[in-house]
Amino acid sequence: MAHRPDPTHTHGSRVTTPIEATHPLDPLNGDEIAAARRILADAGHFTERTRVPRMLAVDPSKEALAAWSPGDPLDRRILVTLLERDTGVASEALVSVSRGEIDDLRVLPNTEAPFGQPQYLFEEYEDAAVIVQASEEWRAAMRRRGLEEHIELAFCSPLAPGFFGREDEVGRRIVRSHTYLRLDERDSPWAHPVEGLVVHVDLTERRVIRIDDEGDVPVPMAHGNYDLETQGPTRESLKPIEITQPEGPSFSVDGSLVRWENWTFRVGFTQQEGLVLNRIAFRDGDEDRSVAHRASVPEMVVPYGDTSISRHWISYFDAGEYLLGKNANSLSLGCDCLGVIHYFDAFVPDDHGNPVKIPQAVCMHEEDYGILWKHTDLEGRPEVRRSRRLVVSSFSTIGNYDYGFFWYFYLDGSIQVEAKATGIVFAGAGLPGAENPHATEIAPGIFTPVHQHLFCARIDAAIDGEDNTLHEIETVRIPTGPDNPYGNAFTWSDTQLATELEAQRLADGLTSRVWEVRSAHRKNHVGQPTGYRLIPEGKGLLAAQPESSVHGRANFATKHLWGTRYAPDELYPAGPYPNAHAPGAGLPEWTRRNRSLDGEDLVLWHVFGPTHFPRTEDWPIMPVDYSGFWFKPHGFLDRNPALDLPEDARASCAPGDGADAPAGCCSSDSPHD
């Protein structure tokens, strides 16, 4: 990826802007997005009502990628979803921007079972608000509540409808709108929900198809603003923290290619997933050994546990319905990231298919992470090395919530994935002091429903190549007897998950259950297969009942682990178009074939994330909630790969007692010391 350094970049940081693809896995640049639109328009596939819900780069086959060498020509192809706003007809075009040709064009059967709609357009959010506010039924509902003076400043929030098989909804482009009040132009609307009022909108016909108007709960009027102007004065007790790297960072960037210590990978970005990492490898001696071909968090579902008319249908698919990449933040030094930063700009199409740059969509930096290894010998001599990690991150805002996706690379060959949920909890209203089994009162009259944030990571594993096996490892207790005469013994089990149905698994913290991907051909120096282990947190899965609609639509969230045999079109665990789609798409559909996982090209799908019981401390803005997992080498390397780290203050405390230690050294194991 040829890149242009940004001369206006923030001091202490650099920016990579993709301007020309030089590698098959480079992210889309603005010229390619514009070219795809132009090719379709020249072929007569654009009218004034045509919109572009999504554009995705199509990766070359693994065989083509293996055969490609730098300098070889690139065939850059883009999958373009088209939507006719006046008819609702949707289609997919496969466009080669290298050859200037349309390789395929098909109409999507979104009016037939199992249905499914393209992702939402930004202009549809605005249209939905206009349609709602023009509705006499909605205005009458507002007047009945005595809210007519707030109509002009009301915020109408367009929300994905789920799927319930209603005749006036199936095969149609629907949103459901909640209403919130704003007391002035800058007021946070989330603090003023109009409870029991839901407007159902057909976006194609531009009309309200029905209104739910139930109850007369007073609208909470206390503000929910969280800016310093409202919440100040500013605290003055915190002393400055400065993070400096006087010799610059330890990583290097060449287009999309990143090298840091023993790690190499390529930074990608898509409109649907946001941050994507490709061709992850760890250098062992003179060899770059493959760990994963592609890794991302391609989907997340947010189901609500509330039975009210306002929320029983809510189950957002924030990637598949709203697009994490399209909603990515532009990150800034000193706020989102600290230290010596390298940013990556990203390009996505707007609703009309024209390129839009998201400046600094991805942030990368190094940070200290406490003690990596330490031992004090019998003579009292310590050897200590400090840990450091490379952080690659992005943030997306979807309505009231904000999600950060952080990939951490460690010096010992480990990878950690962390999702950070923050923003504003989704508020409803109730009578102050009332009991609600499905929602917590977090401020007077503000009731926030119990809900879940269930992320699904996808790791296209490639442990020393594409021929891998999958195993479940867990602790086994041994009954006292001939195999355990003293009662102290325990061992482990090692079960191969040889097919896709066998590889649908639940975590079990009581047995320390993990899943290991192994090379089918390579062994380490003790004769065991090289491998990496996925170490789950093992939090709760989808809490909805099997007969519910969301259980079928978000079936991927009913297991902590799915293992599948690689297929190039299996990228999204709920299918490519979960919006208004009937249950059954994605992982449950694919795994019915029960393909072999024995020595095959394997993909791991891991579900993680919190079940959120809101608390008063979450208001008016929620502190970050962390969740994630580890992907750690287990027998992949023949020894600790961090034995050669320096002793000086770049990475450790020097030998000797505290008086002799160089400035900046300490004995704390805090990642922030």
Angle between helix 136-144 and 122-133 (nearest 10): 60
Q: What's the token pair of residue 49?
A: 């009502």
Contact 393, 275 (CB under 8 A): yes
Cα–chain-centroid distance for residue 437? 30
Give me the phi and psi of 441, to 5 degrees please.
-80, 110
Contact 17, 30 (CB under 8 A): no
CA-CA-CA-CA dihedral for 533, 534, 539, 543, to nearest 10 = -130
Contact 337, 367 (CB under 8 A): no
3-state SS, one letter per residue, for 243-290: CCCCCCCCEEEECCEEEECCEEEEEEEECCCEEEEEEEEEEECCEEEE
Q: What's the token pair of residue 338?
A: 């600290």
Give me the phi and psi of 79, to 5 degrees please.
-90, 115
Cβ-based neighbours of 645, under 8 Å, separated by 6 or more:
372, 385, 386, 411, 651, 652
> What does R_g of the chain's alpha carbons equal in angstroms?
26
> For residue 604, which of 582, 644, 583, 631 has the smallest C-alpha distance?
631
> For residue 83, which of 120, 38, 136, 33 has the smallest C-alpha distance?
120
Where in the sequence numbering do the catalytic residues fall? 318, 401
Q: What's the token pair of residue 310?
A: 């306002």
Contact 223, 187 (CB under 8 A): yes
Sign of the CA dihedral with 661 first, then 664, 665, and 668 last: positive
Give me the phi and psi of 534, to 5 degrees please.
-90, 120
Rounded CA-CA distance 515/296 in Å is 18
Q: How far apart are the first and last CA of the chain?
A: 37
Q: What's the token pair of residue 120?
A: 């939402």
Cβ-based neighbours of 351, under 8 Å, separated by 6 or more:
51, 52, 53, 121, 122, 123
